[in-house]
A and B are shown apart, each in its own frame.
Chain A
Amino acid sequence: MRLLALAAACAGAYGQVSGVIEGTITDSVTKAGVRRALVMINGYQPGVQPVQLMTDASGHFAARGLAAGDYTVSANHMSYLMFLNEAVKVSVSAEKTRHTVNLQMTPGAVIRGRVMTEDGEPCEAQVMAAKPNSLPMYLGGASTEPDGEYTISGLLPGRYVVAVRPHCMPFQPVPLQPVKQPLPRRRGTGYGITFFPDSASAGTAEPVLVRAASVRTDVDFRLKAAALADVDVAVTGAEPGRPVNVWVKPEDQTGPYVDASAGVNDGVAQIVGLRAGTYRLFAAEIGDPMTCRVGSAPLAVREAGLLRAEVRLAPTPPVRVQVRDLEGKPMKLGYRLDSLNEAPSPPPAVDGELMRCLSPGPWSVEPFDMGKAVVSVRVGTETFRGAVLRVPEAVPDLMVITVAQATSRLQVNVDAGEQAAKVLVLRESEYGRRGVWHWQPRSSANVVPAGRYRLLAVPENMPTMPGLLEALAEMGEVVELKDGEERVVNLAFLSAEKIRLALEK
């Protein structure tokens, strides 16, 4: 008898059961079943293939013949937001072969409208939608059709700042003149970046509210010609014939980038339609990744008309970057280097020693392994404590990143019920949030460097796109860790429904 029980247990362990996972997918707003939703059942034991199904007219699905083991069930539908889809964990065993999984999906919202000039002509433009607290990260965008109409779909419900970047100009008659002679500009007027309904800045824009599954069709722009500056940016220091990207960004980071990459001609890039304000110009040579000629310059626009500015590209020879431990031994460690003054950053490195292109200015280092702390960074002859460094004007040929095992420990417990959850760990610094780690909630502690963190427990299959992360970050719990400190945090789970309600406020 005892032998029989043992045999039955082994059979269960090796998948000799025929499990069933069934359930219904419903719309979180209407509570109706969702027809033709894609249901994905992923098993984690060797040899188990993922299963995909499509719900019937009532939103029902059933997968039979499943082997024993752990599964994650999630659903997807193009009309619903992937960001907010739930996932549930189930365990098929000889003791429990049948599971019912009911999931909710949040329908996406749509913003639609027209972009017209003040005299009723359709304007070619790009339209972008951002959560007010996530600027300048845009969550959705669209180009206008020939009749000026645009549609931004697949949006989270909630309030949006909607911005339009017009590519049209106010009409201006031209009496007969040579084609090569510049047009006698209606000096200093044009259509600038406009926030709905007709504001020059994001701060005074009227947010557009869209509810789940709703379509706002009245987000129309009637562009008004305004006093604007066009800027001729002289780009110097580029290798002859090499293409250069030039772009400008508002200093307060509340507006979209304006680029003039297409306009670089004979060393001059023209950026058109800037309103009064303070900006920063950037330029980077495109092509050979080891040449790295980049530059930036402040730009103050006080009056309309044609302004001139200059960006000098500095040839920045590649720097040999080494990662070493406390004893000075070389080690392999993946890391990323980010420019803190928005200069182009090199791709992340996954090796111990590499040649990188680093322009002069402040940079931060972020190891991929969160258990490693950056102790110091030696750049040429200068040593910086911590993970922030400054590359001098005379770029040295060697940078040494010294890392140590982190000493603080953080344990995050999440009670998500049957929901599959993940923990987002955002490291914060005076330079903003530089890193995001995805943790599985677990009982053992993770080793992390001392610092300030923001923690969020969200559905496991929620993608962490930048705009969404910025919008959600304020809902996270803040934890400050000192060197050697151990902390256990019991984190509330933010279900898809909680996130949806929070974003809809």
Chain B
Amino acid sequence: MVRLFLIFTSVFGAVLLAQAPVVRGRVVHAGTGDAIAKAVVRATTKIGGEEYHAIERTDGDGRFQLQGIVPADYLIGAEKAGFLPRLFGPEEPGAPPQYLAVKAGDVHDIVLRLRPMTAIRGRVVDETGEGVNMAQLQLLARGFERGKPAWQVVREFGADGQGQFRFEGLMPGRYVLAAMGLHGMKGGLPSDIDVSLKPVERQYAPAFYGGGREPSEAKLMEVRAGQVLEGIELALLPMETGSIEMTVSGLPSENSYPNLSAMTESEWVLQRRNMTWDAQKRVARLYEPVLPGRYHVVGHLEHEGRVYAANAVVDVPAGGVARAELTFAPAIDLEGRVRVEGPGAEKFRDVKVTLLPGSVRQPIASELEARPDKEGRFVIRNVPPGVWDIGVEPIPAGGYLKSMTLGGADVLTKDMVIDAASRGPLNVVVSTRGGVVKGSVEMEDKRTVATVLLLPEGEFAHVISFHQGAETEPGGGFEMRGVTPGRYRVYAFNQIAPWEWLQDGFLDQYREMGTAVEIGEEQTVEANTKLIRRGR
């Protein structure tokens, strides 16, 4: 019996071994072909609807072999410090990754070519050409915030004593480089001065590589994989400063002591300057002068449990003082109700409603939240004026946010703007009956991983929360659940950057290549579409 068992297991084991697929290969430098040791190789797949992964590391010759691989379609990627991560697929730059179809008995020997990351190195100098000690640098890239194009800080660096800086390990792309002195750093001061002549105060203004006062005016630096831009020099120049003086009203008591600050309006960097409060004259002033430009002056305080807030915009002139009124108003208590409807709605009673500030330049730029009671009623206390985005979670799987209204006005597809006169209730309806869009992408090679986008059309095209995206499965299929009912168009791209489709005019050129669909509540719609090839 024991012998029979041994024979059985050895035969079965041999069959298994014979059928066990092998995925192995090498990771090499895309430019030189040199082996890359200790690169991490990761394979991911779905088996029975569940995600699986296997992880291995290359040896000294850049070789690897993944363990435990079973027949399935895999995405295989390699990463190593100093190199761009790469997924298995065609070699040409920008080509989409592909699934590796692994069958019983297969032996796959693949090569993953990694391209080195990029770097930007240089120096910040002052008006005399001397390196600026501890200058601050920011690398900016074009991105999107709340669905609108915006410059975003992707990396920061503090220069050394000689103004030298280096941004290592950068992704290839287009950047704008900005430099500035430390907060309030003086510039252009004389060594010999007659104070009776009332000298001018200057500070170093932010400088952009290639010139300009805003990122949009600066030179766009394009760095390709493996490229190192060296010898980049930025010059900081002193600029005459100005100040702010605000006459304050609307404070809840004579003894109120408001928190006051002024923030730069520039879209790319937020600088906050504290202000002093002269209680006798009811005037707020900056502690220190600032560079000229547009500033948001914000204030807040709490009095007997009630928050009061104020916001005003001033333009600071060079060598002058911007004077304006700053009027405090009480924050409001926002009452509301959340209703979940549809099959299984009773399972989703424990939801949370969060208000997120639409701008960091609001008087209080932090989250506010409430948990509705058993009847779904909630109160969010002390909501200061400003634009607030509404977050409701969890949304049931396959469900969607059906409506949100403030005092009867739609705040699902429009901004919720709160002021002292705003009145609730904030009514939220969540439905478990979202739509489903499923289909297939028509493409030459069904192993390609395409990006499928479901974008609203018509009056709701601007509503970012209605946008959905998915990647194709092996074979080109895709599925998106929890779709808000309405008119949409389905696009499939071989490559597209996050939110790239929000750029002005981007979709116009591809509109005819998309597939129009109309989706109703709880409806499943099939939408097949053709692959849109970009980048060739």
Contact = CB atoms under 8 A, between A and B. Distances in A.
Question: Do A and B originate from a single complex?
Answer: yes
Interface of A: 18, 35-36, 38, 49, 51-56, 60-66, 77-79, 110, 119-122, 145-148, 151, 153-154, 171-180, 240-241
B192 A78 contact: no
Interface stretch (B67-75, B419-427, B474-482, B488-496): B67-75
A49 to B, nearest CB: 7
A52 B52 contact: no
B168 A145 contact: yes
7 contacts: A18-B196, A56-B192, A65-B197, A146-B169, A147-B81, A173-B67, A179-B50
B193 interface: yes
Contacts of A147: 81-82, 168-169
Given A171-B38, A173-B57, A176-B70, A241 B189 contact: no
A53 B81 contact: no
B191 to A, nearest CB: 4
A153 B160 contact: yes
A174 B70 CA distance: 14
B130 to A, nearest CB: 7
A53 B201 CA distance: 10
A171 B186 CA distance: 48
B274 interface: no
Interface string B39-64: 01001100000111111110000000
Contacts of B318: none
A241 B354 CA distance: 11
B81 A54 contact: no
A65 B195 contact: yes
User: Quick one: which of B56, B194, B201 has the most chain A CB within 10 A?
Assistant: B194
Interface of B: 38, 40, 43-44, 50-57, 66-70, 81-82, 117, 126, 128, 130, 133-134, 160-161, 166, 168-169, 182, 186, 189-197, 199, 201, 350, 352, 369, 371
B189 A54 contact: yes
A49 B195 contact: yes
A408 B322 CA distance: 51
A54 B371 contact: no
Contacts of B69: 176
A175 B68 contact: yes
Contacts of A145: 166, 168-169
B52 A64 contact: no
Contact of A53 (B54, B130, B191): B191
B57 A171 contact: yes
A51 B371 CA distance: 55
Contacts of A148: 81
B371 A241 contact: yes
B169 A171 contact: no
A175 B193 contact: no
B264 to A, nearest CB: 22
Contacts of B130: 35-36
Contact of A38 (B57, B189, B192): B189
B51 A63 contact: no
A474 to B, nearest CB: 30
A67 B82 CA distance: 60
A77 B130 CA distance: 14
A171 B126 CA distance: 46
B184 to A, nearest CB: 11
Contacts of B369: 241
Nearest to B182: A78
A55 B134 CA distance: 18
A383 B189 CA distance: 60
Contacts of B196: 18, 64-65
Contacts of B70: 176
B81 A52 contact: no
Contacts of B53: 174, 176-177, 179
Contacts of A174: 53-56, 67
B134 A78 contact: yes
A38 B186 contact: yes
B168 A176 contact: no
Contact of B81 (A56, A77, A146): A146
A173 B191 contact: no
Contacts of A154: 134
Given A36-B130, A79-B161, A153-B161, A62 B54 contact: no
B56 A173 contact: yes
Contact of B52 (A62, A63, A178): A178
User: Quick one: which of B128, B186, B189, B191 has the most chain A CB within 10 A?
Assistant: B191
Given A121-B81, A173-B57, A177-B54, A77 B133 contact: yes
A212 B490 CA distance: 64
A173 B182 contact: no
Instruction: Across the A-B interface, give the 7 residue pairs with the lowest CB-CB distance, nearest first.
Output: A146-B169, A65-B196, A175-B68, A176-B68, A78-B133, A175-B67, A54-B189
